[in-house]
């Protein structure tokens, strides 16, 4: 047996754990021990090619060779076939970096994802880690803010507000205490880029938050992570301890005399706490009820103090901008959507996963060139972009460039970049009803259009889809409902919710509802398209 | 509703555990959620009898603490069944058959959840909770059994996993 241990990578991302990565790692270690083979097992993040998880990689002179999806029972056979030399096998995909799905991407934010051991400071440093922070420490705060402004970075949580402008407002505010808060309450179905970042490259988020703190003069920070992400909470907590011990956080960041104390806070399963003011209430120890704005959190945020609030990916994009310069980042993208977006391909899709591309790619390219069509093999019918509050996008719009303004022009949203694919068995009336039902379950209850409107929305959709001969609800509106009248009622209700809600929960629930109604009227039992202003 | 075997002695009584948590965390800014998490992690739920104790330590009214416990889906006032099963009901899982999987789980476990709420089987073996997104949307449908994630779930695999739990009981 050769003396030098062979390095094998088995991901620790929860999407890999959920399909048995721990069992694969255990079996591999046991098999190698039995055969007297020295093994250096690294638990890396995920490359984001989830249909191949558990994706096992072996370091060879030809680079890292990928095998997947590996089940525990495949391990012995793989070793027999020469896994540790990167030998051919039915599960072998050749050099990882040359897998087309990965090779075609533009990974800026996710450059280290799946490459490194997430909690290794040495790995992070060896892959350009902390170079953004070191650059920022040599700059005055306003120069950092200017770099972020010049990069064109917009909030990746969904609202797409220019990050630099937010930072500038907080920097200009006068207060004895300021905060940086990371909104990691990634509750949108179809999104997992925040989770991957926290589990797979946590120091990147810490570095981004530290740069933000330097830019605005904040000395305390919180990462508010959803309770549905226990692995992210654990990894982030450990990363904070390690970063602090190594001097990247704490009272004297890299000997600069500047300080940032970062705390991980676990949320408690309220979707609306992804709304920034509800999140602040939750961090302060109250029910996550939305606050009226103004005052803006940038002026009066956490505990009434000026607060930078950004999404995980917004903060995580900053280290590279500082390390390579604003122009480098701004050169990617189209129009006013600059840089790259970590897009998440999910739902009924053959090759689901993480695709980081510059803005401007189309849904068709994403779903077919990357995604390989539906998982079921049936035709794709509808795609929901931007989470539960995003519109269903019909085939006529699949060639639009992914761009905040282009999507807004057709009543859709890019949001956090989650793409949920449905095949032709999907019932869009049912999905529209679900959007209203979800809003009813998750509404914080502060404003009437959201609290009451969502329940009325469920009821009116039930009446629309009820068979015309139904007499079940005959007591209220006569012998049977007048469907066009009920459709008009739903549109009026959506109009009230859109314009009268305090936050995006009630204000955007009409997006999936109206898009389903406008583009798939047949699912509501409407023969002739009922197309008014959407 | 079955009762989880309660803490056996005074050293691990809910009041004692809560007191320990409060002593460590009550002075932190915005301490209520971290405190409730620690209490629930230790006891499996936040018993009603510790609410006044938490309220007093944080200088809040009992109503305020009760309001927070009941506002968040994660916190429960009742002890759960011996095993907690969460099935994702969000869109990406729906696109891969989560509705049918949820119905299957209700039947198999003898739990009948409604709306956003969970339910516990009559014999106290299982609590079934709907959950809205586990972040495994490219490997759907996804579930959690006692903190352990499982993706690409099918009714057949679900039955195998539950069968193993029942055999071990």
Does the distance separating the beta carbons of A352 and B116 come in below 8 Å?
A: no
Reported as a pLDDT band with limits 50, 70 and 90, residue A70 is: very high
- Contact residues on chain B for A441, CB-CB shorter than 8 A: 115-116, 132
Residue reference for tokens 């009742």? B78
Mutate to test the interface with B, among A15, A437, A440, A516 (most CBs of B within 10 A): A15
Give the pLDDT of residue B116.
Answer: 65
Looking at per-residue confidence, does A4 or B62 come out higher? B62
Reported as a pLDDT band with limits 50, 70 and 90, residue B117 is: confident
- In 3D, which of B45, B88, B85 has the Cα closest to residue B69? B45
Q: How many CB pairs under 8 A join A and B?
A: 148
Residue A174 CB-density burial (10 A; 0-12 exposed, 13-18 middle, 19+ buried): exposed
Q: How does pLDDT run across B42-67, given as a tens digit for each residue?
A: 999 999 999 999 999 999 999 999 99
Of B73, B92, B151, the CB nearest to A189: B92
Reported as a pLDDT band with limits 50, 70 and 90, residue A469 is: low
- Contact residues on chain B for A195, CB-CB shorter than 8 A: 135
Question: Got the DSSP string for A136-161?
Answer: HHTS-HHHHHHHHHHHT-B-TTTT--
pLDDT at A470 over 90: no
pLDDT at A100 over 90: yes
Residues in chain B: 169
Taking the mean position of all CA atoms in its chain, how far away is CA A248? 26
CA distance A460 to chain B (A): 17
Residues 6+ apart with CB under 8 A from A54: A10, A11, A16, A19, A20, A21, A24, A68, A69, A70, A71
Give the pLDDT of residue A155.
Answer: 97
pLDDT at A103 over 60: yes
Reported as a pLDDT band with limits 50, 70 and 90, residue B11 is: low
Q: How does pLDDT run across A270-283, given as a tens digit for each residue?
A: 999 999 999 999 99
Of A268, A421, A438, the CB nearest to B33: A268
Q: What single DSSP character describes residue A367?
A: I
Q: How does pLDDT run across A292-319, given as a tens digit for each residue?
A: 999 999 999 999 999 999 999 999 999 9
Does the distance separating the beta carbons of B74 and A267 come in below 8 Å?
A: yes
Give the pLDDT of residue A477.
Answer: 47
pLDDT at B141 over 50: yes
- Look up the pTM and report it: 0.95
B98 interface with A at CB cutoff 8 Å: no
Of A229, A285, A441, the CB nearest to B30: A285
B23 interface with A at CB cutoff 8 Å: no
Give the pLDDT of residue B129.
Answer: 94
What's the CA angle centered on A387, arms A383 and A390, to 5 degrees?
Answer: 70
What structural domains does chain A harbor?
A: 6-103 (3.40.30.10), 121-330 (3.40.50.11540), 339-423 (3.10.20.600), 428-524 (1.20.1440.230)
- In 3D, which of A423, A451, A17, A51 has the Cα closest to residue A199? A17
Q: Taking the C-alpha atoms of B29, B35, B36 and B38 in order, what is their torsion angle to the nearest 10 degrees? A: 140
pLDDT at B6 over 80: no
Give the pLDDT of residue A467.
Answer: 82
Residue reference for tokens 């604003």? A326
Q: How does pLDDT run across B71-109, given as a tens digit for each residue?
A: 999 999 999 999 999 999 999 999 999 999 999 999 999
User: Does the CA dihedral B154-B156-B160-B162 come out positive or negative?
Assistant: positive
pLDDT at A471 over 60: no
pLDDT at A355 over 60: yes
Does the distance separating the beta carbons of B138 and A349 come in below 8 Å?
A: yes
Mutate to test the interface with A, among B67, B131, B137, B140 (most CBs of A within 10 A): B137
B140-149 residues labelled b (16+ CB within 10 A) or e (exposed): bbbbbbeeeb
pLDDT at B150 over 80: yes
Q: Taking the C-alpha atoms of A240, A244, A250 and A256 in order, what is their torsion angle to the nearest 10 degrees? A: -130
pLDDT at A247 over 80: yes
What counts of helices (H) and strands (E) characterise chain A? 22, 16
ipTM of the complex: 0.93
Q: How does pLDDT run across A23-34, given as a tens digit for each residue?
A: 999 999 999 999
**Across A485-501, average pLDDT:** 97
Q: How does pLDDT run across A198-217, given as a tens digit for each residue?
A: 999 999 999 999 999 999 99
Give the pLDDT of residue A472.
Answer: 53
Q: Which of A109-118, A416-425, B104-113 is predicted with the least confidence, judged by mean pLDDT?
A: B104-113
Of A228, A230, A354, the CB nearest to B133: A228
pLDDT at A506 over 90: yes
Which chain B residue has the Cα nearest residue A283? B30
Give the pLDDT of residue A265.
Answer: 98
Residues 6+ apart with CB under 8 A from A59: A6, A7, A8, A9
B114 interface with A at CB cutoff 8 Å: no
Residues 6+ apart with CB under 8 A from B69: B36, B46, B51, B75, B77
Give the pLDDT of residue B12.
Answer: 84
Which percentage of chain A shows pLDDT scores above 90?
Answer: 94
Residue A372 CB-density burial (10 A; 0-12 exposed, 13-18 middle, 19+ buried): middle
Of B67, B131, B136, the CB nearest to A287: B67
Q: Please, are residues B158 and B166 in contact by the beta-carbon 8 Å criterion?
A: no
**Across A146-163, average pLDDT:** 96
pLDDT at A527 over 90: no
Of B32, B36, B149, the CB nearest to A18: B149
Mean confidence (pLDDT) of chain B: 92
Taking the mean position of all CA atoms in its chain, how far away is CA A429? 26
**Across A64-92, average pLDDT:** 97
């Amino acid at each position: 047996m050769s003396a030098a241990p062979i390095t094998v990578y088995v991901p620790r991302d929860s999407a890999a754990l959920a399909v048995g990565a721990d069992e694969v790692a255990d079996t591999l270690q046991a098999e190698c021990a039995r055969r007297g083979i020295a093994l250096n097992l690294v638990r890396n993040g995920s490359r984001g090619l989830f249909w191949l998880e558990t994706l096992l990689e072996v370091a060879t002179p030809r680079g890292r060779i990928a095998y997947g999806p590996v089940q525990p029972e495949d391990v012995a056979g793989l070793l027999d076939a020469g896994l540790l030399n990167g030998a051919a096998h039915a599960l072998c995909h050749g050099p990882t970096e040359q897998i087309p799905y990965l090779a075609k991407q533009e990974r800026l934010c996710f450059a280290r994802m799946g490459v490194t051991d997430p909690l290794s400071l040495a790995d992070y440093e060896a892959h350009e880690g902390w170079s953004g922070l070191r650059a920022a420490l040599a700059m005055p705060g306003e120069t950092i803010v200017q770099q972020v402004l010049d990069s064109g970075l917009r909030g990746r949580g969904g609202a797409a507000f220019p990050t630099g402008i937010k930072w500038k407002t907080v920097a200009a505010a006068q207060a004895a205490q300021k905060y940086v808060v990371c909104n990691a309450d990634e509750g949108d179905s179809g999104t997992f880029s925040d989770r991957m970042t926290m589990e797979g490259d946590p120091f990147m988020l810490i570095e981004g938050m530290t740069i933000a703190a330097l830019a605005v003069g904040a000395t305390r920070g919180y990462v508010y992570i959803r309770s549905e992400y226990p692995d992210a909470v654990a990894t982030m907590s450990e990363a904070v301890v390690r970063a602090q011990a190594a001097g990247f956080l704490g009272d004297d960041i890299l000997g600069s005399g500047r300080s940032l104390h970062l705390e991980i806070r676990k949320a408690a399963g309220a979707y609306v706490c992804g709304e920034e003011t509800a999140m602040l209430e939750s961090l302060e120890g109250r029910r996550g009820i939305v606050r009226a704005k103004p005052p803006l959190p940038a002026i009066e945020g956490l505990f009434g103090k000026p607060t930078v609030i950004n999404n995980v990916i917004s903060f995580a994009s900053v280290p590279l901008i500082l390390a390579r310069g604003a122009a480098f980042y701004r050169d990617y993208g189209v129009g006013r959507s600059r840089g790259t977006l970590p897009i998440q391909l999910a739902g009924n899709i053959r090759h689901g996963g993480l695709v980081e591309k510059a803005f401007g790619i189309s849904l068709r390219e994403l779903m077919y060139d990357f995604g390989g069509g539906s998982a079921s093999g049936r035709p794709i019918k509808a795609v929901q972009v931007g989470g539960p509050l995003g519109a269903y996008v019909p085939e006529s719009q699949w060639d639009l460039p992914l761009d905040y303004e282009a999507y807004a022009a057709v009543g859709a949203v890019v949001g956090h970049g989650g793409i949920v694919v449905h095949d032709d068995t999907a019932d869009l009336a049912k999905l529209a009803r679900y959007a209203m039902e979800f809003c009813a379950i998750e509404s914080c209850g502060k404003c009437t259009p959201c609290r009451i409107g969502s329940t009325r929305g469920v009821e009116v959709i039930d009446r629309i889809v009820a068979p015309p001969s139904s007499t079940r609800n005959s007591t209220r509106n006569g012998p049977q409902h007048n469907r066009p009248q009920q459709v008009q009622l739903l549109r009026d209700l959506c109009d009230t919710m859109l314009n009268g809600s305090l936050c995006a929960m009630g204000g955007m629930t009409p997006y999936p509802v109206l898009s389903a109604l406008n583009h798939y009227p047949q699912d509501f039992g409407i023969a002739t398209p009922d197309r008014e202003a959407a | 509703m079955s009762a989880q075997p309660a803490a056996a002695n005074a050293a691990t009584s809910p009041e004692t555990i809560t007191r320990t948590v409060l002593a460590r965390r009550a002075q932190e800014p915005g301490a209520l959620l971290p405190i409730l998490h620690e209490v629930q992690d230790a006891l499996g739920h936040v018993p009603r009898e510790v609410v006044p104790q938490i309220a007093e330590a944080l200088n809040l009214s009992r109503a305020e603490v009760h309001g927070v416990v009941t506002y968040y889906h994660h916190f429960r006032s009742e002890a759960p069944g011996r095993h907690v099963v969460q099935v994702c009901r969000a869109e990406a899982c729906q696109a891969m058959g989560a509705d049918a999987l949820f119905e299957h789980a209700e039947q198999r476990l003898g739990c009948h959840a409604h709306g956003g709420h969970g339910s516990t089987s009559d014999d106290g073996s299982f609590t079934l909770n709907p959950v809205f997104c586990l972040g495994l949307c490219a490997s759907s449908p996804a579930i959690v059994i006692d903190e352990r994630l499982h993706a690409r779930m099918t009714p057949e695999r679900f039955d195998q996993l539950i069968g193993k739990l029942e055999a071990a009981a």
